[in-house]
Amino acid sequence: MPSTVALAVARYRPERESEPTLQTYEIPFRKDWVVLDALNHVKDELDGSLSFRWSCRMGVCGSCGMKVNGTPKLTCATFLSDYLPGPIRVEPLDYFPVVRDLVVDLTDFVRKLQQVKPWIIRKEEKPLSEGEYLQTPDQLDAYKQFSMCINCLLCYSACPIYGLEPGFIGPAAIALAQRYNMDSRDQGAAERLKIVSEHDGIWQCTFVGECTKVCPKHVDPAGAIQQYKLTGATEWVKSLLLPWGAR
């Protein structure tokens, strides 16, 4: 076990450079350290100017997503020991504009998430007097996987279509739309289908599958999108065969 390891971190200071560069720091190696610990060590002891996002440090907030040796990862869940002997390259997530160092702007995702209406849509709200919505374990099972999304955006960084088509709604937004479509309390599936069937929606996805591979919460956004395509196609056939049907 070495006593130190090299961390090559992407730096971007817009006030003095026009392109990111890599700066290498020699940090102590501890076998229980994750990349986030290493970054915090740099900030505390070596270079206070390094900027990066983090919060819960236990894989539930989705703040610390970055590329480690080219793969999108949660830095709070990526052990230094898996990357020996180093150097370990830490870069900001792909396909989002870099604000500074390892910080990227996520406004595009937030806007797209809002577009898919990620909330329970009811034709009529159930009055309080009628009590709570009841849901069986099987009904919960139908959407639970998609509800585990922590909006860490590793999937967007892994999706080449998002890189090539900035208008693409993207894996997490579509998976979250499905989370509500499959919820037995929701009545907004038709509304959401109209939104994601637009040009930049589900039909742009070519099932590369990288989003599912990098997802730290096993949401399987690729699966969500393919299932959505099947639903979209079935609804389209139904609308052809029964044009007068009120859907």
Partner 1 sequence: MGRQVSAEPHYTLYHPRWYRRPVSVWWWLQNRAYTGFVLRELTSVFVAFFALVYLWQLRALVHGPDAYGQFLARMRSPLFLTLNTVAFLFVLVHSITWFNLTPKAMVLRLSGKRVPDWVILGLHYAAWLVLSAAVVFVLLRR
Partner 2 sequence: MRRITPLLWLLFSAGGTVAALLYPVHLFLTGLAFPLGLIERPRYEFLQRLLTHPVTRLYLFVLISLPLFHWAHRFRYTLYDGLQLKHLTELIAVLCYGAALLGTAMTAYLLWNIP
Binding site for partner 1 (CB under 8 A): 12, 14-15, 18-20, 70, 94-95, 97-99, 105, 107, 111, 114, 119, 136, 138-139, 141-142, 160, 163-164, 206-210, 213, 220, 222-223, 226-227, 229-230
Query: Which C-beta is closer to partner 1: that of 134 or that of 230?
Result: 230
- H/E element, 25: strand 21-28
Residue 105's binding partner among partner 1, partner 2, none (Cβ under 5 to 8 angstroms by kind) is partner 1
Taking CA atoms, 137 is separated from 98, 144, 187, in Å, by 42, 10, 19
Residue 87's binding partner among partner 2, partner 1, none (Cβ under 5 to 8 angstroms by kind) is none
∠ CA 131-134-234, nearest 5°, is 125
Q: Shortest approach of partner 1 to residue 222 CB, angstroms?
A: 6
Residue 237's binding partner among partner 2, partner 1, none (Cβ under 5 to 8 angstroms by kind) is partner 2
Dihedral sign for Cα atoms in the order 31, 32, 36, 37? negative
Helix, strand, coil percentages in the chain from 3-state DSSP, rounded to 5: 40, 15, 45
Query: Which C-beta is closer to partner 2: that of 23 or that of 197?
Result: 197
Query: Which C-beta is closer to partner 1: that of 47 or that of 141?
Result: 141
Q: Which residues bind partner 2 (CB under 8 A)?
A: 160-161, 164-165, 197, 203, 206, 229, 232-233, 235-237, 240
∠ CA 29-31-33, nearest 5°, is 75
Closest to 64 measured CA to CA, from 22, 93, 95: 93
Query: Which C-beta is closer to partner 2: that of 2 or that of 166?
Result: 166
Query: Which C-beta is closer to partner 1: that of 26 or that of 200?
Result: 200
- 93 DSSP assignment: P
Contacts 24+ apart (CB under 8 A), 231-236: 231/181, 231/193, 232/193, 232/196, 232/197, 232/202, 232/203, 235/190, 235/193
Query: Which C-beta is closer to partner 1: that of 134 or that of 246?
Result: 134
